[in-house]
Amino acid sequence: MLNEFFISLAIACGAVLAGSLVLHGLALLGPLGKRILSACGRAPLLDFIVAWFTIVPAIAMAIVYGWIGLAGAILGQVIGMTLWCWGHELTHRKAVKGARIVTVLNRVVGRPRNHAALWVTSIAVPVFWVVRIGEWIVYPPLIWLVRFPRYPMGQWVNVSRHKFDGLVGHDLIWCLYCDWMTGVWSLGSEMLRNVESFWCPIRFLDDKKCANCSVDFPDVINEWTGPDGSMEDVAKLLSEKYEGRDPKQRNTWFGHPDRVQLTVDGKPPQD
């Protein structure tokens, strides 16, 4: 069992370092490498890159060796990422000695607390992957079934913080994680706006909940039927918002840009 643990650890660590070397190598290929890296920085290719560094080694080792393989792979990924951070910082000594996010936050809350908190956030990786998989397999059928709007996922799920000058090692890897994470979550929220306004446009009885949810669901405040309304009011609202629309138009949430913006020829966009 101990052998299986260390084999999984070594394979996962190697996968992380090998993936990093490939990406660094592409940067040395000139214009062709830059084009490939640009494509890798946006969905759908980005999904495969992120999967390689986050879940593929763990899943593979869990399939081969079970729970002991999963544990070894997770530790191997942590070690691989840490080694990459150290190496990246060693080759960017000027940036390391300059202003850094980690330096400031270590002073604010203390180094042990700051680093422990960062590793706690990594536990959310499977949560974001569940959201991302839902965006792949749950939402697309709704585009066809109920004419929900289509979203170019690459406009949401992409990474670019690696181009920020002076962001290296520890700071870079965590900022890239947040870069991917926020895009995935924001796209999921946008998709859910269509779901809520289409099927359940009824305001919550709790005003505080309405205020809180209005950040992600703007229709809740001014558009959805109040809790003191009737089902006739809800049916009327849905009729006003969706019936009689051009079949080529998408059934968007009420504040979606295609309901308020016009194209050059004066007609609403189809998607």
> Tens of pLDDT along 19-50?
999 999 998 999 999 999 999 999 999 999 99
Q: In the 3-class helix/strand/coil scheme, how is the chain assigned residue by residue?
A: CHHHHHHHHHHHHHHHHHHHHHHHHHCCCCHHHHHHHHHHCECCHHHHHHHHHHCHHHHHHHHHHCHHHHHHHHHHHHHHHHHHHHHHHHCCHHHHHCCCHHHHHHHHHCHHHHHHHHHHHHHHHHHHHHHHHHHHHCHHHHHHHCCCCCCCHHHCCECCHHHCCCCCHHHHHHHHHHHHHHHHHHHHHHHHHHHHHHHCCECCCCHHHHHHHCCCCCHHHHCCECCCCCHHHHHHHHHHHHCCCCCCCCCCCCCCHHHCCCCCCCCCCCC
The pLDDT value recorded for residue 166 is 92
Q: Per-residue pLDDT tens for 58-86?
A: 999 999 999 999 999 999 999 999 999 99
The pLDDT value recorded for residue 132 is 97
The pLDDT value recorded for residue 90 is 96
The pLDDT value recorded for residue 264 is 45
* 120/113 Cα distance (integer angstroms): 10
Domain segments of the chain as ranges: 2-190, 200-259
User: What are the residue ranges in the chain where pLDDT is below 70?
Assistant: 260-271
Residues making up the chain, counted from first to last: 271
The pLDDT value recorded for residue 266 is 47
Q: Is the pTM of this model over 0.85?
A: yes
* 57/77 Cα distance (integer angstroms): 8
